[in-house]
Amino acid sequence: MTLRDQRGAAVAPVAVTGVGMLTPFGEGLEPLWEALFGDRTALRERPGFPGGASGVVPGREAWHRPGRVRRLALDAGRQALGEARLPREHLARTGLCLGTIVGEAGHGLRCQDPGLSPARRAALRAAWSWGTLARRVARRLELGGVVIPVSTACASGADALGLAAAEIAAGRAPAMVAGGTEAVTPFQWQGFRRLGALDPGGVHPFDARRAGTGLGEGACFCVLEEESQARKRRAPILGRVLGWGTAADALSLAAPDPAGRGLARAARAALRQAGRSPEEVSFVVAHATGTPTNDRSEALALREVFGARLPGLPVTALKGATGHCFGASAAIEAAVALACLRHGSIPPVVGLRDLDPGLVVQPARQRPRQVGPGVALALASGLGGQNTALVLGGAR
């Protein structure tokens, strides 16, 4: 089944030919994969970030150095292009869709410092812009196609993948590099702390004791291509983007819809675009921030979409291991979903021990779970009521 337009007509299949990522476990998918299946977390309390647990990318410069978010994106983008083996002559027509929430805004705030020179103040002010960040990454990766910055809260990485797939399906780009990037800084740390959304004990998705989230950082980018082009050049096909759906709660700047109606609409829209039914979903990668309200509303959204099938539907989640990586989270989760499709199994939910009996979901706990053929549904929700869903397929 191929990606479809709003009228249901089939459009060009979109293949994923390369994935690159950095997470609190290190570079590439393998260390994250081993940690997930080993039921390990990277979250701990760190100096300068009191009152919560966080995970940072090892071996990279500290958060207070400007340009960290850009460097994470560049490293992940180069990994993805390397795996895709995209010829250099293709780069001139390849675009970039970059998702981020904060980007370099934490450093941009320093432009108010009265001791800075006018030139330095102007440079920091420019770095604040999501567009500047995206253009700098595209230039360093030598991408000559369209550049699209995306900032849709915690769904940014998923929306970047969806927008990139739409560009390819519409014939506007033969290939796109798409994903998200984010670093942990005091800027977002204080925001989540003031919301009372941090749990010093880590992240416990769907757990009866869950009390908040933890912050992570990283970057994940995928190379998306029109499938016929990928096959013609014998590129590795790691999976497919089959459907993308978005919906807004239009309810609150911080709280999700308690009934999960916006997320359910996004999931149905993605399935409809993919031409798939809920019965064809083999597993779900949940957003699962570990906050009481988010996990409850997400469980209700899943019940609305899957009905009586939900108690037996395999569900996994990543934030208990990585923390909430903001604009990069949904892209990381999509990449893991593609790997799960290839391997036929999903990892246990790190941090989940005692399932909240009030939730209908039955996530994988403490051991992996085998999954059958079908498609994956990856969900993302963000502050302000943004909801996004991706339907992902494996390689034929």
287 as an active site residue: the answer is yes
H helix or E strand, kind and range, residue 29: helix 29-37
Which residue, 67, 106, 265, is CA-closest to 189? Answer: 106
CA–CA separation, 123 and 126 (whole Å): 5
Pairing of strands 94-99, 147-150: parallel
Which residues are 15's β-sheet partners?
225, 240
- Which of these is catalytic: 154, 220, 222, 340? 154
Pairing of strands 345-346, 14-23: unpaired
CA–CA separation, 129 and 133 (whole Å): 6
154 as an active site residue: the answer is yes
Lookup result for tokens 């109606």? 261
- Which of these is catalytic: 90, 107, 287, 325? 287
- At residue 169, the 3 state secondary structure works out as helix
- Which of these is catalytic: 220, 324, 325, 340? 324
Catalytic machinery residues: 154, 287, 324
